């Protein structure tokens, strides 16, 4: 069903009135609204579609793979074609959504310093390759909305003082009070820039090659809505709002999570859902857990938020053999209401973020985790706290190497521990996202770190496809073993109604070495008890502790073995997971 254009226009004007209330010379909300509606493609001829409130746009079959466009390459072939080949050959009946990390021309940060939002990096392919992938998979595009490259034409126009972009960038004065600004980097915040109008100091939240936009100028907002429209036309079904927490700046404030930022997301949600009601917005906000949860709004901001606390808590659990912190966090997490969900991941192109563990792990626990990861070859990225202290911001390591042992050192359980991590993640409330290098059990790439000088390169290996295929065809290789076991887990997961991202979830109390939770399908016909031994010694479950109903037949979905309720205990090997269900799919 559609609705009159005037109704959506009025709603957009309300958003604008909130966003620009404190901005001088911005008050013609009617004119701005008209331009935004035109930019997104709404008109009297193409009226707004009435979105269905609290509708889940996902189910248990949704599994996303996170990858760069050139994570797998083959000689004389466009990398995006090689990626499509890999997906079609090795991800059959497992992956149905793909997050292709920024595939636009860029100058640094492996894509997150965008030079041109409108084109595909020619080293990867072109729009026809993106379109071909979009025909087979739900694609997540990055909307790098906080900043762009200092080498972009927009920023060159800023320097020249004329043309599109000349007034797109946020500047400050050296005597401004910037003491409260929260940043994830230790580099200077302001970039001294000579322009045709004189010396300016440009705001750079991340690096001096990544110059921040000034959303106080409505032209910036309109430009990004045009980009969104273009991405929809090219096949995007999911928008990842990169670093969006930093979008709005007010000198003298923290410049993170400001009310205007939240209202801007609500505005984008209004525009997107009225033209593409099946499209999904995911906010990438690598911040403490309580702040992260606010990006759901009242089911009117992000459809999904990254579960950033999961990676550090889960890795900490598996290297210590103690699930208390993970269990306490899970018990505190509110169920996502219909129309919203969590995006679960335990590895990505970035490292293991530690800010989302603040307040959940003690400083001593974080220090111990950092030390263990350094012992396994990891690197550490740092930030400056509001007290001027250097604090670990991120651990840079592949997940496979992060789980090669415990705080006691490496051991023989690396693959079992790695699979256990994914079994825990795959069963949790939310949509699972799996990094390609987790599927492939990729180890730390020290050579790339040395070549780039960037810690994050350790987990951004580029596979030669022919060499990779030889490894995947070798039953003795870690790559074959992990891909085989993960694929089997994923296929089982996708068939269970109780693993719907919004199905009921309760945390089980099984001690410190057994981590468990219970899921139940919406129709209450299926229950699954998900229990993992997170220790390097065998553990037993007393079946009476999980109250299996004696009239039902129970089996472990992972092994297919029947569970005899008359047995007193169930034995779990180190890092073994069971999915005990009353229904076989």
Q: What confidence score (pLDDT) does residue 3 get? A: 85
58 SS3 class = coil
pLDDT digits (tens, 9 = 90+) for 114-151: 999 999 999 999 999 999 999 999 999 999 999 999 99
CA pair distance 249, 327, nearest whole angstrom: 36
Q: What confidence score (pLDDT) does residue 418 get? A: 98
Q: Show which residues are catalytic.
A: 242
pLDDT surpassing 80 at residue 560: yes
The strand pair at 463-464 and 72-73 is best described as: parallel
pLDDT digits (tens, 9 = 90+) for 347-365: 999 999 998 998 999 999 9
Identify the CA nearest to 16 among candidates 3, 34, 40.
34
Q: Is 504-581 CATH 2.60.40.1180?
A: yes
The strand pair at 304-306 and 280-283 is best described as: parallel
pLDDT digits (tens, 9 = 90+) for 145-169: 999 999 999 999 999 999 999 999 9
CA pair distance 351, 371, nearest whole angstrom: 15
**Mean pLDDT taken over the chain:** 95
**Are the C-beta atoms of residues 109 and 207 closer than 8 Å to each other?**
yes
The number of angstroms, rounded, from the C-alpha of 476 to the middle of its chain's C-alpha atoms is 32
- Which part of the chain has CATH 2.60.40.1180? 504-581
Q: What confidence score (pLDDT) does residue 584 get? A: 60
pTM: 0.96
pLDDT digits (tens, 9 = 90+) for 18-61: 999 999 999 999 999 999 999 999 999 999 999 999 999 999 99
Q: What confidence score (pLDDT) does residue 191 get? A: 98
CA pair distance 557, 568, nearest whole angstrom: 20
pLDDT surpassing 60 at residue 585: no
Q: Which CATH fold topology does 147-212 show?
A: Oligo-1,6-glucosidase; domain 2 (3.90.400)
Q: What confidence score (pLDDT) does residue 323 get? A: 98
CA pair distance 455, 379, nearest whole angstrom: 6
Q: How confident is the model at residue 107 (pLDDT cuts 50, 70, 90)?
A: very high
The beta strand positions in 145-235, using DSSP E, are 147-149, 190-195, 198-203, 210-212
Q: What confidence score (pLDDT) does residue 186 get? A: 82
**Cα atoms found within 13 Å of the Cα of residue 180, Cβ hemisphere only:** 12
Would you give the end-to-end CA distance of the chain in angstroms?
Answer: 36
90 SS3 class = helix
CA pair distance 490, 485, nearest whole angstrom: 9
- Which part of the chain has CATH 3.90.400.10? 147-212
Share of the chain above pLDDT 90, in %: 90
């Amino acid at each position: 069903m559609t609705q009159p254009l005037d109704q959506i226009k009025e709603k957009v004007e309300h958003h604008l009135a909130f966003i620009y209330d404190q901005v001088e010379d911005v008050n013609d909300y009617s004119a701005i609204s008209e331009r935004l509606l035109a930019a997104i493609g709404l008109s009297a001829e193409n009226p707004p579609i009435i979105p269905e409130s609290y509708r889940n746009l996902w189910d248990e079959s949704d599994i996303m793979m996170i990858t760069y466009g050139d994570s797998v390459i083959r000689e004389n072939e466009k990398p995006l074609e090689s990626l499509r080949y890999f997906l079609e050959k090795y991800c059959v009946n497992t992956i149905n959504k793909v997050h292709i990390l920024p595939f636009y021309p860029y100058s640094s940060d492996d894509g997150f310093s965008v030079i041109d939002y409108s084109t595909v990096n020619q080293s990867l392919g072109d729009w026809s390759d993106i379109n071909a992938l979009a025909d087979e998979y739900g694609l997540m595009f990055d909307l790098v909305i906080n900043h762009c490259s200092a080498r972009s034409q927009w920023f060159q126009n800023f320097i020249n003082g004329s043309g599109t972009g000349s007034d797109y960038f946020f500047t400050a004065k050296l005597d401004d009070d910037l003491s409260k600004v929260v940043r994830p980097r230790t580099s200077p915040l302001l970039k001294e820039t000579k322009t045709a109008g004189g010396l300016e100091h440009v705001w750079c939240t991340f690096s001096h090659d990544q110059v921040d936009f000034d959303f106080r100028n409505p032209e910036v907002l309109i430009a990004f809505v045009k980009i969104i429209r273009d991405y929809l036309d090219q096949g995007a079904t999911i928008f990842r709002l990169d670093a969006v927490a930093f979008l709005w700046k007010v000198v003298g404030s923290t410049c993170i999570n400001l009310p205007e930022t939240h209202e801007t997301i609500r505005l984008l949600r209004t525009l997107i859902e009225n033209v593409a009601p099946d499209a999904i917005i995911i906010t990438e906000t690598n911040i403490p857990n309580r702040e992260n949860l606010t990006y759901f709004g009242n089911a009117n901001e992000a459809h999904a938020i990254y579960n950033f606390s999961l990676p550090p808590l889960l890795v900490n659990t598996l290297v210590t053999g103690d699930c208390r912190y993970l269990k306490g966090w899970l018990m505190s997490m509110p169920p996502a209401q219909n129309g919203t969900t969590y995006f679960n991941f335990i590895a990505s192109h970035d490292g293991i973020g530690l800010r989302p563990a603040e307040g959940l792990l003690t400083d001593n626990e974080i220090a111990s985790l950092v030390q263990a990861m350094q012992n396994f070859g990891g690197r550490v990225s740092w930030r400056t706290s509001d007290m001027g202290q250097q604090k670990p911001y991120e651990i840079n390591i592949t997940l496979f190497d992060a789980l090669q042992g415990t705080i006691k050192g490496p051991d023989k359980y690396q693959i079992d521990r790695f699979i256990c991590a994914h079994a825990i993640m795959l069963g949790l409330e939310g949509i699972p996202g799996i990094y390609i290098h987790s599927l492939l059990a990729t180890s730390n790439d020290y050579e790339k770190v040395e070549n780039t000088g960037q810690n994050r390169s350790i987990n951004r290996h580029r596979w030669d496809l022919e060499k990779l295929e030889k490894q995947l065809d070798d039953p003795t290789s870690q790559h074959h073993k992990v891909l085989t076991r993960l694929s089997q887990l994923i296929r089982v997961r996708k068939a269970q109604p109780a693993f719907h991202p919004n199905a009921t979830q309760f945390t089980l109390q099984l001690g410190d070495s057994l981590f468990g939770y219970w899921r139940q399908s919406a129709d209450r016909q299926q229950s699954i008890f998900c229990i993992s031994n997170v220790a390097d010694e065998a553990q037993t479950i007393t079946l009476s502790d999980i109250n299996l109903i004696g009239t039902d037949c129970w089996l472990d979905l992972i092994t297919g073995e029947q569970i005899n309720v008359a047995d007193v205990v169930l034995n779990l090997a180190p890092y073994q997971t069971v999915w005990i269900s009353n229904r076989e799919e």
